[in-house]
Amino acid sequence: MKRIFTILVTVTMAVYATAQPGIFATHPANNPKGKILTPTASEWESSKLNPTSPAISFVDNRNITYVIDGKRYIMTIKGTVSDYNDYVQPKSNPLMQQLPAGVSDVQSSSNGDIAYSINGSLFYLDKDGITHNVAISESDGIVYGETVSRNEFAIDGGIFWSPDGSKLAFYRKDESKVDLFPLLDINSRTGSLKAIRYPMAGMNSERISLGIYDLQSKTTTYLDVKDFDDDRYLTCITWSPDCSKIYVQVLDRPQDNIHLNYYDTASGKELGQVLTEHNGKWVEPISQLSFVKGSSSEFIYSSDNRDGYKSLYLCNDNGIIKRLTDVDADVEYIGNNGKELFYYSYEVSPVERHLFKTNIKSGKKQQLSQGEGVHTVRFSDDLSSFIDTYSSINNPKSIYYRNSDGTKSTLVFQAENPTQDYAYTELSLGKIKSADGKYDNYYRIIKPLNFNPLKKYPAILYVYGGPHNQMISNSWYGQLRRWEMVMAMKGYVVFVMDNRGTPHRGTEYEKAIHGECGQAEMADQMEGVKMLMNLPYVDSNKIGVHGWSYGGFMTISLMTNYPDIFKVGVAGGPVIDWKWYEVMYGERYMETPQRNPDGFEKTSLINKAKDLKGQLLIIQGGIDNTVVPLHASSFVQECIKNNIPVDYFTYPVSEHNVQGRDRAHLTEKITEYFEKNLR
Q: How far is CA 588 from CA 130, 201, 516, 592, 641, in A?
A: 43, 10, 11, 9, 32
Q: CB-based burial of residue 619 (10 Å sphere; 0-12 exposed, 13-18 middle, 19+ buried)? A: buried
Q: Angle 5-11-16 (CA atoms, 0-180°, nearest 5)?
A: 155
For strands 566-572 and 538-548, give the pairing: parallel
Residues 6+ apart with CB under 8 A from 496: 443, 444, 445, 461, 462, 463, 471, 472, 481, 484
Distance CA 125, CA 110 (A): 13
118-157 as b/e: b if 16+ CB within 10 A: bebbbbbbeeeeeeeebbebeeebbbbbbbbbbebbebeb
Amino acid (1-letter code) at residue 552: G
3-state secondary structure of 145: coil
3-state secondary structure of 149: helix
Distance CA 490, CA 676 (A): 12
| β-sheet bridge partners, residue 447 | none
Distance CA 360, CA 292 (A): 9
Cα-Cα end-to-end distance for the chain: 56
Distance CA 245, CA 262 (A): 6
Distance CA 670, CA 483 (A): 10
Question: In degrees rounded to 5, what are phi and psi of residue 541?
Answer: -90, 0
Distance CA 521, CA 316 (A): 39
> Could you say which DSSP state residue 632 is in?
H
Please identify every residue annotated as catalytic.
549, 624, 656
Helices (H), 16-124: 39-44, 46-49
Distance CA 322, CA 46 (A): 46
In total, the chain counts a number of residues equal to 679
**H or E element at residue 169:** strand 167-174
For every residue of 242-301, which 3-state class applies, written as one string? Answer: CCCEEEEEEECCCCCEEEEEEEECCCCCEEEEEEEEECCCCCCCCCCCEECCCCCCCEEE
Q: Please say whether the beta carbons of 325 and 311 come within 8 A.
A: yes
Q: Which of 520, 523, 429, 431 is nearest to 467 (CA)?
A: 520
* Sign of the Cα pseudo-torsion (68, 72, 76, 80, in order): negative
Residues 6+ apart with CB under 8 A from 659: none
| β-sheet bridge partners, residue 313 | 301, 323
How many other CB atoms are found less than 10 A from the CB of residue 68?
A: 18
